[in-house]
Chains A and B, each alone.
Chain A
Amino acid sequence: MPDIFINPPEEKKEAKTPSPREKHKAPGYTHNPLAAYGYLPDKVNFETRESEEKVILLLRQHPITLLPKALVTALMILAPSILSIFPILSFSRLPPNFQFIAVLIWYLATAAFVIQSFLPWFFNVYIVTDERVVDIDFYNLVYKEVSDANIDKIQDVTYKMGGVVRTLFNYGDVLIQTASEVPNFEFLAVPKPDKVAKILQDLRIEEEQEKLEGRIR
């Protein structure tokens, strides 16, 4: 009896491993470790993170908050050149060897200022995971504070965005009230506060869903 239908041989398709850049196409996703708004950032790990905990958001203050310090840094870098025009204000009254060392010390002070400005901005982060919100603060070079609260303990999320500069650059404050030991979390001057509030709302809904279904994750 002739065959009515012969199933064509299946072509074996090898599962293509997506590259890191293809994995995440969600809006706001960035590979930039210096980004102030990182949605689903890669390579983020912090001290108290659990092994299965997934980082949803990594936030810092908007880079525009660094503008005043950046301007001061630029002035400090240019100061020896500009002030050399005015003999009274320059180091010209000093012997030549002292002038040279004075300029080096000036740039050493500039480096210290840059470090004191950049490090707190870079390491003071707000992290939202699928289970918690975490606030990491380094108040100075020798004092740090890490606070966290579970998503299901969040009672209220408010975001504020006001003023010309904040509206222009789309950054504001997100205030989170919780029922945990730390009653308030303040995400100050973060980009896209509306999106942050929306993500927190979605996570809270998901936590309630998990409770109803009796799931852990």
Chain B
Amino acid sequence: MTTIPLLGISVWLIVKIFVLLGLVFYFVFALVVVRQVQLMTETLEVGFETQLKILSYLHLAFAILVFLAALIVL
């Protein structure tokens, strides 16, 4: 039985909402990581900054993709 009797809402819909909420928080975390990599590379430069910034942006893109996938697929 996947529907809550009193509310008539599917349990999976509630799970989907919580998953999307969690992914929004993760998106904020990914933004913090991008900003932090920027601050860290301003503090210390060793010739690897471009690669690290690219990795942080890729991580952010992955977080956005997973959010969109959850929005569409679930």
Contact = CB atoms under 8 A, between A and B. Distances in A.
Contacts of A111: 59, 62
Nearest to B73: A97
Contacts of B22: 105
Contact of B36 (A34, A45, A58, A141): A141
Contact of B62 (A44, A97, A98, A108): A108
- Give chain A's interface secondary structure class: mixed
B36 A46 contact: no
A205 interface: no
A142 interface: yes
B66 A101 contact: yes
B43 A46 contact: yes
Interface string B31-74: 01100110110111111100010001001001100100110011
B55 to A, nearest CB: 8
Contacts of A77: none
A136 B48 contact: no
B47 A43 contact: yes
Q: How large is the interface on B (under 10, 10 to 19, 20 to 34, 35 or more residues)?
A: 20 to 34
A95 B59 contact: no
A110 to B, nearest CB: 11
A41 B26 CA distance: 36
A104 B66 contact: yes
- Give chain B's interface secondary structure class: helix
A14 interface: no
A42 interface: yes
A34 B32 contact: no
A187 B29 CA distance: 30
A10 interface: no
A47 B26 contact: no
A101 B70 contact: yes
Interface in A138-169: 138, 141-142, 144, 146
Given A97-B73, A101-B66, A108-B26, A123 B40 contact: yes
Contact of A46 (B45, B47, B73, B74): B45
Contacts of A33: 46-48
Contact of B45 (A45, A100, A119, A144): A45
8 contacts: A41-B46, A58-B46, A101-B74, A104-B70, A105-B19, A122-B48, A136-B44, A142-B32
Interface of A: 33-34, 41-47, 58, 95, 97-98, 100-101, 104-105, 108, 111-112, 115, 119, 122-123, 125, 136, 138, 141-142, 144, 146
- Across the A-B interface, the 7 shortest Cβ-Cβ residue pairs: A43-B47, A33-B48, A45-B45, A33-B46, A33-B47, A141-B36, A104-B66
Given A34-B48, A44-B45, 19 more contacts: A33-B48, A41-B46, A43-B47, A44-B46, A46-B43, A46-B45, A47-B42, A97-B73, A98-B74, A101-B69, A101-B73, A105-B23, A105-B66, A115-B56, A119-B40, A123-B44, A136-B43, A141-B32, A144-B39
